[in-house]
Amino acid sequence: MALVLMTMAGFWALGAVMRVPSRMRWVMIGFLYLAVVLAHLILPPGTGLRVATGNSAAPWLVLGGLAALGLTYGRGLAWLRARHSAKTTPPPSATPPTRFRPAELDRYARHIMLREIGGPGQRALKDARVLVIGAGGLGAPVLLYLAGAGVGTIGVIDGDVVDNSNLQRQVIHSDASIGMAKVFSAAQTMRALNPFIAVECYNRRLEPNMAAALFADYDLIMDGSDNFATRYLVNRTAVACGKPLISAAITQWEGQISLYDPARGGPCYQCLFPQEPAPGTVPTCAEAGVAAPLPGVIGAMMALEAVKHLTQAGQGLRGRLMLYDGLYSESRMIRTTARADCPACHGQGHAPENRPAPDTAV
C-alpha cells in the first residue's frame, strides 16, 4: 500500500515540475486509485498484485471515502464563503468615476477656481456627452472650446470635406486638411489640444432614420448646421428625445443663439420659427458672405452656454433669444415662450404664442 501511495505522490511531484495543471494530476492519481480497487475486486485472493497493495480492497475504499468526504467539505466551505461574501459586499458601481490625473487638475485649474464650477462642475463636464451637429463655421469654435473645457465625450457629425474656402473662418481645420473629412480633421485638432477627452466621429449627414438613436447617446445637442432642413430635423428629434438643444445661426455680420428645452420649461426652435423659409428667401454664407470672426464669436457663446448648462452655473438662454450685430457691436435679448400650436413640442414648455424675429442663415 505504501508503494502505491508513494507512486501517487511521485505523479503529483512530477506533474508539478512539468507544470501539469492540478486537475490533470488529480485525474492521473484517480485512475491509479481505481486500477488498484478494481484489481482487488477482480483478481483472486493471494495474487501478487493484491498482496503488494494490501491484499484487501477495504483500506482503499475507506481511503477513497475519506478523500471524497474531505473534498466535499472543502467545496461546501468555499461555497458558503462565496455566498456570505456576495451578501455582505456591496456591488461595484456600473460605471465607477475615473479620477482626474494630475495633468488634468493643472489643466482645468482656472475652471476649478471658479466658485460656480469648482471640482463638482469640472467632474460634470468630464462625465458629460455632447453631440455637435456640423464641423464648420459654428462647429469649429464649439468643438475647440468644449475640448479645451474638458467635456469628456464629444460627438461630431458632418458629411462634408474641408475646402479651401472654409479656412477663412473654420479655424479647427488647416491648409493640410483640405480634402479631408471635416469630422476627422476636427477630431485630430481636438485630440491634439486635449488628449484626455474622447471624440466620436460620424462622417455622414444627419438623417431622420438615425437621428433619434444618435441623440439618445448624448446629454446635450448643439446645432451649428448650415441649412434649415437639418435645423428642423434636429429640433424635432431633440424634442422627441427630451434633450436640451443649443442652436445658433449667422449671416454676414449678425448672429443669434438660444437654448431650446421644452422638457424643462422653455420653447423649442419651431415655437420661434414655425415654418421653414421658402427656398432662396434666406441667403447662405456662400451667397451673402460672412465676416471671418463672427462664427468664432457666436460659436464661443454656444460653448459657454454648454459649459453653464452642464455645470448648472449662472443663467442660461432657456426662454431667451440673443441677437448679435457685429457690424455695430450691438446685442439685444428677446424673451421667448412656447406656442400652444407648435407641431414639434405642442407648447409643452409654457404659455401662449410669441412672435420672434426672423431666423438667419449660417
Rounded to whole angstroms, the Cα distance separating 189 from 264 reads: 34
Instruction: Give residue 68's pLDDT.
Output: 73
Mean model confidence pLDDT for the chain:
84
Residue 30 in contact with residue 7, Cβ under 8 Å? no
User: Which parts of the chain are beta strand (E)?
Assistant: 129-133, 153-157, 198-202, 220-223, 245-251, 254-260, 320-325, 330-335
Cβ neighbours for 54, distance < 8 A, ≥ 6 positions apart: 1, 40, 60
Nearest to 281 by CA among 273, 272, 271: 273
List pLDDT tens digits, range 84-130: 544 444 444 444 557 899 999 999 999 999 999 999 999 999 999 99
Q: What is the pLDDT of residue 285?
A: 73
Question: In this predicted model, which residue has the larger pLDDT, 46 or 211?
Answer: 211
pLDDT at 234 over 70: yes
pLDDT value of residue 94: 44
CA–CA dist 24, 44 (Å, integer):
32
Report the C-alpha gap between 158 and 223 in whole angstroms: 11
The pLDDT, as a whole number, for residue 273 is: 92
The reported pLDDT for the residue numbered 86 is 44
Look at residue 326 and give its three-state secondary structure. Answer: coil
Greater model confidence, 141 or 65: 141
Question: pTM here?
Answer: 0.70
Q: Which residue ranges form the domains of the chain, and what is each CATH number?
A: 2-73 (no CATH), 102-335 (3.40.50.720)
